[in-house]
Chains A and B, each alone.
Chain A
Amino acid sequence: MKTKSNVKKIRRYLPFYLMMLPALVYLFINNYMPMSGLVLAFKKYNVRDGIYNSPWVGLQNFEYLFTTKDAWVITRNTILYNLVFILLGTVCSIMVAVFLNDIVSKRAKKTYQTIILLPYMISMVVVAYLVNAFLASDTGFVNNYILKPLGLGSIAFYSETKYWPFILVFINLWKGIGYSCILYLANLGGIDPGYYEAAALDGATRWQRFSKITLPCLKPTIITMTILAIGKMFYSDFGLFYQVPMQSGALFNVTQTIDTYVFYGLMKNGNIGMSAAAGFYQSMVGFVLVLGTNAIVRKLSKENAMF
């Protein structure tokens, strides 16, 4: 009797398992197999022996990595840029969302939203061209039409580190704000207008209405988004840090992140051991951050936890 019902069950659900197969095979190849390749961080890689047969070297790659200044620089850059992106990104996207939400004309609202979402749609390479059109030392707009008329000497942006933290933060905001404000905008749309009417009747100022009604309503979203971002603190937007500074070596001190370091080690310098070690470091710390932040959210408010 039992086996009969099992057979029936399998026949019933077999199509489901077959349907899932392509994606499962793909995830196995693209996501799970590379996880096993993390062992490379503990090996001295050579092409002949491949990933799994190259000789073990213990922690040597990590020793090399952490005795260089690079390990500190890439960790610092990755974390600091992320912190600034999270902070400014949240403040600016809430501000833009509130403004958009307060616009009465539907058409104006839609037009604004379409335009500010535009930078999000284009690739980082195109962004690098756009930035280059402004900053190029010989033909750039800034040097030719802003600094020159003011009687100032031209600036070689691609070899001066001091400007880049600002440039990169600006570009990150410019590209991302149209996208990140969507979620807040949707949340604002869900707030009962009755709250605002009552508050206005009681003579609450615009700022009071914002800080006493809007912000508390957005709080769960803000917390969730921030925590998701903290979970990704050890990852950076490779395109932003690789393409936009145009791989200028003079800028590495302020533009190199873990992702670009891993790339250069693997593709340009042939330093696969250190590159693999940096990648391992990123994967592990990243994983701990995700689990940790999720555990904190579970404690604070269970319904916002990811898992």
Chain B
Amino acid sequence: MVENRKGYNILIHTVMVILCVLCLAPFVLLISASFSSESSLIAGGYFFWPKEFSTVAYEYLLTGGSVIRAYGVTIILTVVGTAMNLLITTLIAYPLSVKEMPGRNVFNFIVFFTMLFAGGLVPTYMMWTQIFHIKNTFAALLFPSLLTNGFTIMMMRSYFQANIPKEVLESARMDGAGEVYILFKIVMPMSLPIVATIGLMAGIGYWNDWNNNLYYITDPNLNSIQGLLNRMLTNAQYLKQAASIGNVGTSAVPTTAVRMAVAVLGAVPILCIYPFFQKFFVKGMTIGAVKG
């Protein structure tokens, strides 16, 4: 490394710092906007620090019920959805990883094929709404995105195959352990990285989901926080119109700041939590190719 090591170092750090600024700046703008007074925003537009500090937007949101309610919906949805996803994924991934199981190839194919071919939005929508009647129910937020396809199942199956020694399973069976016991007491504790990765992916997916709200929900009481954001994006008056907030004076709604405040509330929990889980995310990505 005789040649210009120092120059190269300066170059990479400069590039990375610029990238980081690009990634962070929009969030700073958003947060600053949410803490600005309505009049300063209308007069001068969004800026990287509040020209006139104000918490009116947040006070407004806290006095109206819809944001708090939406938070509740999102939290319940994320917890229930993640738990269900992990449960059904592990329950199928474990048998699929057992080579001697008769019919394994057929089941593998059934799961794998969902990654290759999909019916698409129109038939999916028709089926969920007309056969299962999930429109405007909590189930509409939960079920359509429980598993998009077999990808996570294949991912977990590959992990089990590569990381759980057969001898461990054999000796547990010799001792008379049932398969459910083996899965939850032996296989799962040995597979925490993949469980964490898939759980994290599912959790972020549910927290960030606005699609199901857009497709299946018209009842404001079932808005998740992202659903609420989706409604407010093109309709700044949505909060005012949503019934549950009728008790707040309708004259002076700080719309410009309020929509930014809701966006902050929708993004901040993820941004605060994910640095702690980042290593699982990175690990999960690199666990290996998913093969059929």
* Contact call A287/B116, Cβ cutoff below 8 A: yes
Q: Which residue of B lies closest to A275 (CB)?
A: B122
Q: Is the interface of A mostly helix, strand, loop or mixed?
A: helix
Residues of B within 8 A of A307 (CB): 112, 291-292
Q: State whether the Cβ of B53 lies closer than 8 Å to any Cβ in chain A.
A: no
Interface check A283, CB cutoff 8 A: yes
Interface size class of B (residues with CB under 8 A): 35 or more
Set of chain B residues within 8 Å of A23, measured between Cβ atoms: 88-89, 91-92, 111, 147, 153
**8 A Cβ contacts from A259-291 to B:** 259, 262-263, 266-267, 272, 275-276, 279-280, 282-283, 286-287, 290-291
- Bitwise, B100-112 to A at CB < 8 A (1) or not (0) is 0110000100111
Of B120, B256, B278, which one neighbours A279 at CB under 8 angstroms? Answer: B120
User: Pick the contact of B234 from A96, A205, A246, A272 — CB < 8 Å?
Assistant: A246
Query: How many contacts between A and B, using CB within 8 angstroms?
Result: 278
Of B61-69, B160-168, B239-247, B282-290, which binds chain A? B282-290
Q: Is the CB of A200 within 8 A of B23?
A: no
A190 to B286, CA, bound (A): 12
- Tell me which of A8-16, A64-72, A79-87, A160-168 binds B: A8-16
Task: Tell me which of A20, A51, A99, A291 contacts B127 (CB under 8 A).
Answer: A51
A301 at the interface (CB under 8 A from B): no
Inter-chain contact A238/B286, CB cutoff 8 Å: no
For A111, list chain B residues within 8 Å (CB): 20
User: In the bound complex, do residue B46 and residue A182 qualify as a contact, i.e. CB atoms below 8 Å apart?
Assistant: no
Chain B residue, CB-CB nearest to A179: B285
Interface-facing stretch out of B8-16, B75-83, B188-196: B8-16
As a 0/1 sequence over residues 254 to 292 of chain B, the CB contacts with chain A under 8 angstroms (1 = contact) are 001001100100110011001100100110011001111
A206 an interface residue at 8 Å Cβ cutoff? Answer: yes
Contact among B2, B33, B123, B275 with A114 in the assembled complex (CB-CB below 8 Å): B275
Tell me the bound Cα distance from A35 to B289 in angstroms: 26
In this complex, which of A22, A31, A102, A177 has the most chain B Cβ atoms within 10 angstroms of its Cβ?
Answer: A31
Q: What is the CA–CA distance of A31 and B175 in the complex, to the nearest angstrom?
A: 39
Nearest 3 pairs of A and B residues by beta carbon: A37-B123, A34-B119, A144-B45
Shortest CB-to-CB span from A123 to chain B, Å, is 4
Q: A24-B92, A174-B22, A259-B121 are in contact. List 11 more A-B contacts (CB 8 A).
A: A17-B95, A30-B146, A35-B123, A123-B226, A124-B208, A134-B26, A141-B47, A144-B47, A224-B289, A263-B121, A279-B119
